[in-house]
A = this chain, B = another copy of it.
Amino acid sequence: MRVLVVEDERRMAAALQRGLQAEGFAVDLAHDGEQGLHEARHGEYDVVVLDIMLPRLSGYNVCKQLRAEENWVPILMLSAKDGEYDMADGLDLGADDYLTKPFSYVVLVARLRALLRRDSGRRPAVLGAGDLSLDPARRRVLRGETAIELTPREFALLEFLMRRRDEVVSKAEILEHVWDTFDTDPNVVEVYVGYLRRKIDGPFGRNALQTVRGAGYRLAGDGG
């Protein structure tokens, strides 16, 4: 899941970046309104966290501009408590949610998750593929009744594949969303696909995670 954080205050931006990355998000930063608008337009983000008080172009205007361009990426606005802007205005302009500073970090994460859930047509809380199931909130994976232990990286990879089950996803795409880089050796994806297979395919070789030569990987919707 890719998040764009538009925030001029460096310390706050860095703290958000670290925190969200720890939660498994891929985080990009923009430090003023113009840069933020540019990134939001061209990057493919699942959600944007947008401060209101920004140099060059206020978050208020960034939001207005994006909506005017028919860009409906979910936006969560941040405002200072005594801000000159009323938060209700923010919602009127097309923001999906707002938080007042100082806000709690866990609340931010919870609301981001809520936005992501809402946006994609009320995704079920638990992802499934055949008798394979993954619960992002509880961070749990089951094959039938038995739990499967995954490392953080393995979990992020499986979650990404399950969200796009039956689709072929390229290694570049996987690197971008799960590793948050694009110039890394794609071999690391192969290695982790290998790890995952050993864990999710169970004793008698299913084939949940298929290789599509020259194109990428596909997670079979029936779980193999």
Contact = CB atoms under 8 A, between A and B. Distances in A.
Interface in A93-117: 97-98, 104-107, 109-111, 114
Interface string A152-190: 100100000000000110101100110000110000000
A19 interface: yes
Interface residues of A, number: 44
B44 A176 contact: no
Nearest to A176: B106
A125 interface: no
A176 B104 contact: yes
Interface in A21-58: 22-23, 26, 28, 34-35, 38, 42-44
A21 to B, nearest CB: 12
Given A88-B34, A139-B168, A182-B104, A114 B42 contact: yes
Contact of A173 (B35, B44, B106): B106
A154 B104 CA distance: 22
B109 A172 contact: yes
Contacts of A177: 106
Contact of A213 (B43, B151, B182): B151
A114 B69 CA distance: 15
A215 interface: yes
A138 interface: yes
A198 interface: no
Given A15-B183, A22-B172, A152-B214, 15 more contacts: A19-B172, A22-B170, A23-B170, A28-B104, A34-B88, A42-B97, A104-B176, A105-B183, A106-B172, A106-B177, A106-B182, A107-B176, A139-B215, A140-B168, A151-B214
